[in-house]
Amino acid sequence: MSGATQGPIRLVLSDMDGTLLRPDHSLSPRVIEAVAQLREAGILFSLASSRPPRAMRAQVEALKVDLPTAGFNGGTLVKPDGSYWRTHPIDRKAVDTCLQLFAQEPVAVWVFADDQWLLRDTQGDYVGVEQHALGYEPVQVDSFEPYLDRVDKIVASSADFDLLVRLEARLQPLIEGQALAARSQKYYLDVTALAANKGSALITLAEAYDVPLAQTAVLGDGSNDVAMFKQAGLAIAMGQGEDSVKQQAHQVTGSNKEDGVAMAIERWILPRA
């Protein structure tokens, strides 16, 4: 990717899982301190995640985030008080297409709607991992039918990472112009609304706070972060991210095991406050 723009950084938008959080989904003291230093330097800071907004609240409070945050990859933007600011449910045609495709493959399927995590099989791949990350339990349903007109996110989960790569490639042309499909982790393929991407979330936040995109910095590790990489003045990828993601960034920092976000803030962002 071509070089980052020069000049001050006034707004930072960070992914959460695989980026801001350690592998056990905790916040390290060093990262908390680095975010506090951003605030002291007058740099705005917010979060963009594939998580539901409900599963971001603890981190928002711990980091004292006072800007709207983006859940569901930007599908739902939420104010600091928890009230919704912008919402983008998935087009119904895209919902039907995704569920039909996923039903043909050995993947666990989750639907997020009505502020709930819905599934049909509680024993599917990575249910325990997701429950630990979100901090709340799923709701088992017999059918997703009652929710299909108001779906915020669909997830296909599998321990077969190559299968999800192939599914992503197959699904994208089927829902082009209707919705977006991108892997947030090697084991998750997320489907969100067309307007629900982290690049659009960055643009919305930058416009709301009168910050030129050239004066924004973003941090992420997954393919769903590339949309904001393409918009930001400074894009920073995590060291453990896939090569295809790191190639889209201006800089590569340490892994989330190494507090790579704090390293990036100290090395590339604070000096440009």
Tell me the C-alpha distance between 207 and 1, whole Å: 24
- pLDDT tens per residue, the chain (273 residues)? 767 888 899 999 999 999 999 999 999 999 999 999 999 999 999 999 989 999 999 999 999 999 999 999 898 999 988 899 989 999 999 999 999 999 999 999 999 999 899 999 999 999 999 999 899 999 999 999 999 999 999 999 999 999 999 999 999 999 999 999 999 889 999 999 998 899 999 999 999 999 999 999 999 999 999 999 999 999 999 999 989 999 999 999 999 999 999 999 999 999 999
Task: Tell me the whole-structure pTM to 2 decimals.
Answer: 0.83
Q: What structural domains does the chain harbor?
A: 11-87+196-272 (3.40.50.1000), 92-193 (3.30.1240.10)
Place of tokens 């933007």: 77
Q: Is 52 helix (H, G, I), strand (E, B) or coil?
A: coil
Tell me the C-alpha distance between 99 and 184, whole Å: 18
Phi, psi for 128 (deg, rounded to 5): -65, -40
| CB count in 10 Å sphere of residue 162 | 9
